Structure 1
Amino acid sequence: MQFRFETTTITVNIPDKPTLLATVAQRLAARQGFALATINLDHLVKLRANPGFRAAYAVQDLVVADGNPIVWLSRLARKPVSLVPGSDMVLPLARLAAEAGVGVALVGSTDAALEAAAAHLMQQVPNLIVTLRHAPPMGFDPESPASDAIFREMAARKVGLCFIALSAPKQEIFAARGRRLAPKIGFASIGAGLDFLSGDQTRAPFWMRKLALEWLWRALSSPRRLIPRYAACFAILPAEVRNALDQR
């Protein structure tokens, strides 16, 4: 499944969870870095408007479908992919890091949330070592010298996998910069995944996720912030349906 933006084309190149885990396991074992992005409708809205975001997305090695609309569009295009939410991948990816014997870094959110998320991860995943926690201040620039200092600290602490919880587009831009400055590290942009583990945010009940209603749960939890965002997402659907049909 592809999404086209002027001169940039973004491809969902990892079709399902088993493929993602096999690919990440191989890269971690070889100490080969990567950048993992989880595309959804909100990203498509931002990609249309932000050239810097498009440039960062274009260098992501692994792209999965994080959102049922992306899955539905892929079926329309007859290039089906499965749902692989970034939040669901934190524990499985952490297990792969423990098996590969590499340290894990947590970047984003707040100090308290990262401390709680790290404790939860190390409790759930035997032999996992969280070697770095970094909660950037408000206004953090992922392309600044402060960002570069984080990459240097990761390298010094022999981090092999970094979970980034900065929200889009900052997390993808951070990952893209990391691919150049810390090429042996895997970067996984997972949005609210660490806040769910820490308990700072409550995820939608399982039955709502099964009915593809997680967006509604989130919208009702923060209507002033999220209802305009979801309205913008719905507005681009007709064009994305045409794009999917063109790919048949």
Structure 2
Amino acid sequence: MIEAVKMLGVKINPLTMGETVDVVDQEFIQKNKPLHLMGVNADKINQCCNDSKMMTIVNNCDIVNADGASVVLAGNYLGVDIPERVAGVDLMQELLKLAEKKAYSVYFLGAKEEVIQKMLTNFKNDYPNLVVAGHRNGYFNDNEIDLISEEIRQKKPQIVFVGITSPKKEYLIEKFLEDGSDSVFMGVGGSFDVLSGMIKRAPLWMQKSHLEWLYRVAKEPKRLFRRYFVGNIEFIKRVLKAKKEKSI
């Protein structure tokens, strides 16, 4: 059983990047076991605290990574041992390396058609031997979900990357798993945009300084201001309250 800790009621597996890749490979892909591979940041923990359905989905996942510097810092403050941030876009790239090395097939679902096509073009250089089972952009109607689910079941990719916003991607992945898919499903948010080159990632020094969120807000203020500034304040209040209750 994979070790887990709890923060604000949310399950987190204290795994490093390398440990996560090894567990995904050895315990799920090689054993043909389905997996919802989850990453939580401050925003996702806020969602869990405000939505019992999301809390249940996250806590039922077999692997939940800390995908946010704020989660690691809050863990240290609360005495919860979380070794490092496992950023979703970085983990996706590590899993792509694994897939190419071991000839695991992958499927991509999400983003605009031009984004996914550009990403796949880049992958011909970055991962020339990658086995792509299929792909589908993220613009579809609810009545097409069953067809997409059936396509994934038929093609049986070892890994499915879902580049759709939360909470839709979590609900979709749960639907695919309920339909009987045995793949490893990973929700990767806007990672397709980054890997296509359409959106640039923060410089390495900002990533290492836990400032990647600030770079993202500067690039997309209308979309991300509330999520990061208002959401982070909400998260900090929850952490402070938890600390106070723990000390009483």
Which among 82, 85, 99 is matched to residue 83 of structure 1?
A: 85
Moved more, 211-220 or 221-230: 221-230
Provide the rounded CA distance (Å) in 2 between the counterparts of 1:243 and 1:122.
47
Structure 2 residue 16 is matched with structure 1 residue 16: yes
Percent identity over paired residues: 22
1:54 deviates by 2.5
Amino acid at match of 2:161: F
The answer as to whether partners of 1:73 and 1:244 remain within 8 angstroms in 2 is no
Which among 173, 194, 197 is matched to residue 196 of structure 1?
A: 194
Paired residue for 1:3? Answer: 7
Q: CA, structure 1 residues 240+150, in 2 after alignment: closer, same or farther (shift >3 Å)?
A: same
Q: Deviations over 1:207-248 (max 9, x none)?
A: 111111111111111222211222222223122233257669
1:150 deviates by 1.2
Paired residue for 1:132? Answer: 134
1:36 deviates by 0.8
Q: CA, structure 1 residues 241+120, in 2 after alignment: closer, same or farther (shift >3 Å)?
A: farther
Q: TM-score, normalised by structure 2?
A: 0.88
Moved more, 107-116 or 233-242: 233-242
Structure 2 residue 159 is matched with structure 1 residue 161: yes
1:93 deviates by 0.5
Paired residue for 1:177? Answer: 175
Which among 88, 98, 113 is matched to residue 115 of structure 2?
A: 113
1:37 deviates by 1.0
The answer as to whether partners of 2:11 and 2:58 remain within 8 angstroms in 1 is no
Q: Deviations over 1:142-194 (max 9, x none)?
A: xx442222121012222110011101111111122222223410001111111
1:134 deviates by 0.8
Alignment RMSD (CA, Å): 2.1
Paired residue for 1:152? Answer: 150
Moved more, 198-207 or 123-132: 123-132
Runs of 4+ in 1 over 3 A off after TM superposition: 244-248
Provide the rounded CA distance (Å) in 2 between the counterparts of 1:210 and 1:181.
40
Amino acid at match of 1:223: P
Greater RCO (CA < 8 Å, at least 6 residues apart): 1
Matched position secondary structure for 1:132: strand
Provide the rounded CA distance (Å) in 2 between the counterparts of 1:24 and 1:202.
28
Paired residue for 1:74? Answer: 75
Paired residue for 1:239? Answer: 238
Moved more, 47-56 or 199-208: 47-56
The answer as to whether partners of 1:60 and 1:176 remain within 8 angstroms in 2 is no
Q: TM-score, normalised by structure 1?
A: 0.88
1:101 deviates by 2.7
Matched position secondary structure for 1:159: coil
